Amino acid sequence: MPWLTQAQERFLRAVNAVAAANPFLPELAEAERDALGGEYVDQGAHWSLQVDDPRKLRANAWRICERLETAMPAIRARTYAIRGTLSDADAALYEGAVVYMLYHRYYPRLVEELAAHRAGEARGRWGFYRDFERDWKEWLSPPEGRPLSAFSAPHMFAFFFQLVRAFHQIFENIIGNSAPAARLRATVWQSIFTHDLHRYRRNLYARMGDLVTLVTGPSGTGKELVARAIALSRYVPFDPRTLRFEDDPASHFHPIHIAALTGTLVESELFGHRRGAFTGAAQDRKGWLEACPPLGAVFLDEIGELAPEVQVKLLRLIETRTFSAVGDSVPRRFEGKLIAATNRDLAAEIRKGQFREDLYYRLCSDLIRTPSLRQQIEESPAVLRDLVRFLAGRIAGEDGDVLATEAITFIEEQLPKNYPWPGNYRELEQCIRNILVRREYAPPPASPSPVSDLFRDARDGALSADELLRRYCTLVYAKAGSYEGAAARLGIDRRTVKARVDQTLLKQLRANGRAEAEGDAR
């Protein structure tokens, strides 16, 4: 008699694919469809905070779990009966289904505890761990013989809570129902868990702090939110004796805004200093590297502004995980995670000799690029309304819907069509605040951009093909003076050129041309 029927085996394989999928990539929907067949509920292309009912968001997961809860007792009985002849692959298939089932069985209680913790109502001891431990043993420890899982109950409990924390950090802070926003959420998930969830929980959970994460993108695109999501989603061991987690990463996130500090102050903030190390150093001071515990994170914002002498010390820190305070030679060890961000083109800074190439290659083991608001809107125009509603709710509370309506009306009627939002999400938020206070918003005057700036993002690979073509068509049209002339130069149809020309960008190019001509005349 085979271990499983063909239908049971097919279902368990589909469940394992669902459990391994990145929740922010289309692969999850494909795996859920395979698992549920005709019962699958289409929930759209991208998971976004705009979904009203969180349970509706996970409707397919609950359907899968209902099937599992019904099917698994018989599968467990058969598995225990033949455990001595069960192959490693079949044991892993069974274990994966149990992990998915138990995660969702305890998901509501984990979410409840997370909400209480965020509200400052942490309950201390996690008493329901004992229920989880009993279930873990019931499903994976036969009365005789070795367990069917190499993972301990405390480790899996810690892993489950990390999954909940990471999902909510990403889902609630990286907003926008557009393809670029969805890709960003998926990328941040990989920065926390890698692309292989099973390998992560087997081994990598204890090693991810060794990897430096570099976040790049234009100003105002949420780079610190990305850094915070990664830092606050780290794996935290659970102690079954005290029924408590060993630490709280939320209390150990240390952002350092480099552009706001002089070189000496940056070095002191980061590495610490000893008394007398420089003028004004009246006493010893711990830097954030020394103060950061193993499960904490130091975030270096605007790292492109870092002075050359500090770059050398940072390079050594990354290579050896050791550092010395200013004015001291005693080595100290950094155990936390390092996250950096910049809106600069570091490749260009390297060419100019202003940023060390060896430091860049130490920073980019995990690289994330945040999309501009303009990129989001161009790929999904409706995302602007979603973002306005979200930000208005955060700004005005119960009056958020009214403020959102006022803001959307103003933007659509008073701002230029295809307004580029040069300040990104930060500008959009201030626009809404202006409308709240004065019922109006005056964008900053557009400064003419040199032609080379049009393609700066392309060097970082941050432009979509559509955006690259739009900018280039606009530039060629501005030079040629007609659609026919531009079409001839580009080797494409004039109607394609006409459809691609961005009128707002065209005005900027023409204004820049006039400014240059006036400068030459003077």
Domain boundary among 324, 343, 369: 369
Q: Are residues 341 and 430 in the same domain?
A: no
* Residues 6 or more apart whose Cβ sits within 8 Å of residue 382: 177
Burial of 232 (0-12, 13-18, 19+ CB in 10 A): buried
- pLDDT tens digits, one per residue of 305-358: 999 999 999 999 999 999 998 888 889 999 999 999 999 989 889 998 999 999
Domain boundary among 342, 369, 396: 369
- Tell me, rounded to whole angstroms, the distance of Cα 463 from its chain centroid: 19
Confidence of residue 450 (pLDDT cuts 50, 70, 90): low
Mean pLDDT of all residues in 213-241:
95
Query: SS in 3 state form for 348-407?
Result: HHHHCCCCCHHHHHHHCCEEEECCCHHHHHHHCCCHHHHHHHHHHHHHHHHHHHHHHHHH
- Interaxial angle between packed helices 6-20 and 88-118, expressed in degrees from 0 to 180 and rounded to the nearest 10: 40
Q: Are residues 359 and 384 in the same domain?
A: no
What is the Cα–Cα distance from 296 to 391, expressed in whole angstroms? 29
- pLDDT tens digits, one per residue of 248-258: 888 889 999 99
Q: Are residues 340 and 322 in the same domain?
A: yes
Confidence of residue 217 (pLDDT cuts 50, 70, 90): very high
Largest CA distance in the chain: 93
Q: Is the pLDDT of residue 521 over 60?
A: no
Decide if 353 contacts 310 (C-beta within 8 A): no
Token reading at 211: 């990897």
Q: Is the pLDDT of residue 44 over 80?
A: no
Q: Is the pLDDT of residue 420 over 80?
A: yes
Q: Are residues 68 and 162 in the same domain?
A: yes
Q: Is the pLDDT of residue 37 over 80?
A: yes
- DSSP, res 248: -
Burial of 32 (0-12, 13-18, 19+ CB in 10 A): buried
Q: Are residues 332 and 455 in the same domain?
A: no
215 within some domain: no
Q: Are residues 354 and 486 in the same domain?
A: no
SS3 for 345?
A: coil
- DSSP, res 273: E
Q: What is the CATH number of the domain that holds 292?
A: 3.40.50.300
- pLDDT tens digits, one per residue of 355-379: 999 999 999 999 999 999 999 998 8
Confidence of residue 199 (pLDDT cuts 50, 70, 90): very high
189 within some domain: no
**CA geometry: angle 245, 248, 249, nearest 5 deg:** 135
90 within some domain: yes
What is the Cα–Cα distance from 319 to 421, expressed in whole angstroms? 39
Token pair 């489950």 is at which residue? Answer: 160
Question: Among residues of the chain, what percentage have pLDDT more than 90?
Answer: 63
Confidence of residue 516 (pLDDT cuts 50, 70, 90): very low
Q: Are residues 365 and 379 in the same domain?
A: no
Structurally, the chain folds into a number of domains equal to 4
SS3 for 333?
A: strand
Token pair 């367990």 is at which residue? Answer: 147
Q: Which helix (H) or strand (E) holds 216?
A: strand 213-216
338 phi and psi, to 5 degrees? Answer: -110, 130
260 within some domain: yes
Q: Is the pLDDT of residue 517 over 50?
A: no
Burial of 436 (0-12, 13-18, 19+ CB in 10 A): middle
Confidence of residue 110 (pLDDT cuts 50, 70, 90): very high
213 within some domain: no
What is the Cα–Cα distance from 441 to 435, expressed in whole angstroms? 6
Token reading at 225: 């939110």
Q: Is the pLDDT of residue 41 over 70?
A: yes
Amino acid occupying residue 147: P
Q: Is the pLDDT of residue 262 over 90?
A: no
Q: Are residues 231 and 146 in the same domain?
A: no
Q: Which helix (H) or strand (E) holds 445?
A: none
Please give the pLDDT value at position 469. Answer: 87
Q: Is the pLDDT of residue 117 over 90?
A: no
Please give the pLDDT value at position 242. Answer: 95
Mean pLDDT of all residues in 443-465:
66
Please give the pLDDT value at position 91. Answer: 94
Q: Are residues 352 and 380 in the same domain?
A: no
Token reading at 123: 């309950």
Q: Is the pLDDT of residue 482 over 90?
A: no
What is the Cα–Cα distance from 245 to 248, expressed in whole angstroms? 8
| The pairing of beta strand 253-257 with beta strand 272-273 | unpaired
Say which range, 129-138, 208-217, 268-277, has the weakest mean pLDDT: 268-277
457 within some domain: yes
Domain boundary among 384, 407, 438: 438
Token reading at 302: 């605007």
Q: Are residues 136 and 274 in the same domain?
A: no
202 within some domain: no
210 within some domain: no
Which of 473, 480, 478 lies closest to 496, judged by CA?
A: 473
- Of 56 and 515, the structure prediction assigns the larger pLDDT to 56
Please give the pLDDT value at position 263. Answer: 72
Mean pLDDT of all residues in 26-33:
92
Mean pLDDT of all residues in 110-126:
82
Enclosing domain of residue 429: 375-438
- pLDDT tens digits, one per residue of 73-105: 999 999 999 988 899 999 999 999 999 999 999
Q: Are residues 254 and 361 in the same domain?
A: yes
Q: Are residues 229 and 276 in the same domain?
A: yes
Please give the pLDDT value at position 418. Answer: 86
Decide if 499 contacts 437 (C-beta within 8 A): no
